[in-house]
A and B are shown apart, each in its own frame.
Chain A
Amino acid sequence: MYKKRFDGRKFEEIRPTEAKAGIIKRADGSAMFTIGKTTALAAVYGPRELHPKFKQDPSKGILRCNYNMMAFSGSGDRVKPGTSRRSREISLVTEGALNPVLDLTEFPGTVVDVFIEIIQSDAGTRCAGICAAAMALADAGFPMKDLVSAVSVGRVDDKLLVDLNKEEEDHHEGAGVADIAVAMMPRLGKLTLLQMDGFVSREDLAKVLEMAKDACKKIYDVQKNALMEKYK
């Protein structure tokens, strides 16, 4: 029985969240997104020339994401620098999470690069990265249908909850853990990312996705306010 969360939060409560837009001055757009002890930075460059040429799309610009966890970001175990199977996958799903909102038809044959760096990690890094990247793209002035807000939800033992931290993610007692990364377009309420580690019943998944919806609304408000704050 998981009665009380390790950090004392309510089950549907996200960690303290903070965001800031325009932190990297030389980038075309940038943002920072912090949720609990997880912090992601995102910087956008482009549209620019795309090589190799066969990757160019003559109908629109393409989005290229690069997720990286910094060597000192983790729990003390050194993260091996450079690309890995994991970072490659997260880069790809981040592209998938952002592409539905982004409109690059104005920039055919080009590439827009988004670099995501995790400077502190305490679980939920791909979600924090997506939140930061969506803000950075908006900050760069690209036309977008909506923002993208992301959060991890899941099941720890017998309880459904939102925004797992590392301690919860690694909890092995009882029925174990299901860690579900969710990204959604807050206005439309549609999902752009759904991944899971572990297992969850059909009923629980439906319930936990409703919880994710509410959590994403809260995250959306933080993102929105941070973007507006830049011009206050």
Chain B
Amino acid sequence: MSELLIKDKDIVVPGQELALGMDFLPNSGTFRDNDKIISSQLGLASINGRVIRIIPLNGKYAPKRGDTVIGYIKDMNFSNWFVDIGYAYDAVLSSKEISSDYIERGADLSQFYDLGDVIVAKITNVSKLKMTDLSMRGPGLRKLTDGRIVKISTVKVPRLIGKEGSMITMIKDLTSTRITAGQNGLVWVNGDDIRKERIAIEAINMINDKSHESNLTEKVKEFLETRLKENV
């Protein structure tokens, strides 16, 4: 006899029993203990057919291969930059990974990226000890020179992007801004109209605070439309 002990979208705590019996399958944020499925994280339960997983509501960034991240150049030596991507240890960007152009040996790397610069980079490799390699080769990977950085929780980045980018595209379109979301929770926003840029940032912060609510896309749309209509 299998039985579900919670409803879809319920908030669950670590150690809470989610389902009894072998008919359900544990996914991320859950584990099986004999015939029970137990939550291992504070979050929203998501039930998809027989699969149960937890959508986390908080958490720190752990680098994963293939992630696009936004980071600060913190240090450099003769052939590498060390980039703060919000993890405990810095990621390494090798001078070989910045372009196909030939860089002379011993060249001054600060002419490409200097200390304090902000870059959008891709994670090419993560070792078992979470040593992270970055690359600047790829579409959209660049140094950021304009705009603002907003910090949100890394677990809320999927919510900011939305299904097939629906949420982020809507914010971009309504506020006519350019937005790049790093998987590590740093979001770059740039618009020609400073007021609209600020409204876009408000919307991003709203998603960060209310990510667990349903119909969020509708609510954000409504929020943006009323804010944009206001006279200044």
Give A contacts to B, CB under 8 Å: 28-29, 46-50, 58, 101, 103, 106-111, 138-147, 185-187, 223-224, 227-228, 231-232
Q: Which residues of A contact B130 (CB under 8 A)?
A: 107-109
List 10 A-B residue pairs with CB atoms under 8 Å apart, sorted by A's residue number.
Answer: A49-B89, A107-B60, A107-B130, A109-B88, A139-B42, A142-B59, A144-B15, A144-B40, A144-B41, A185-B15
Total residues of chain B contacting the partner, CB 8 A: 27
Give B contacts to A, CB under 8 Å: 11, 13-17, 29, 31, 38, 40-43, 56-60, 62, 87-89, 128-130, 155, 212
**How far apart are the CA atoms of A117 and B40 in the complex, in Å?**
26
**How far apart are the CA atoms of A144 and B31 in the complex, in Å?**
10
Nearest opposing residue in chain A for B30, CB measure: A143
Q: What is the number of contacts between chain A and chain B, taking CB atoms within 8 Å?
A: 88
**6 more A-B contacts (CB under 8 A) besides A107-B88, A138-B13, A187-B17?**
A109-B89, A138-B14, A141-B42, A143-B29, A144-B15, A145-B38
User: Looking at chain B's contact residues, is the secondary structure mostly helix, strand, loop, or mixed?
Assistant: loop
Find B41's partner among A28, A47, A141, A232 (CB 8 Å cutoff): A141
Contact A140 B129 (CB under 8 A): no
Q: Which residues of B contact A143 (CB under 8 A)?
A: 14, 29, 40-41
Contact A101 B60 (CB under 8 A): no
**How far apart are the CA atoms of A49 and B17 in the complex, in Å?**
34
Nearest opposing residue in chain B for A50, CB measure: B88
Contact A145 B58 (CB under 8 A): no
- Smallest beta-carbon distance A189→chain B, Å: 11
Q: Which residues of A contact B88 (CB under 8 A)?
A: 46-50, 107, 109-111
Q: Which residues of B contact A185 (CB under 8 A)?
A: 15
Contact B59 A141 (CB under 8 A): yes
Nearest opposing residue in chain B for A225, CB measure: B13
- Smallest beta-carbon distance B86→chain A, Å: 11
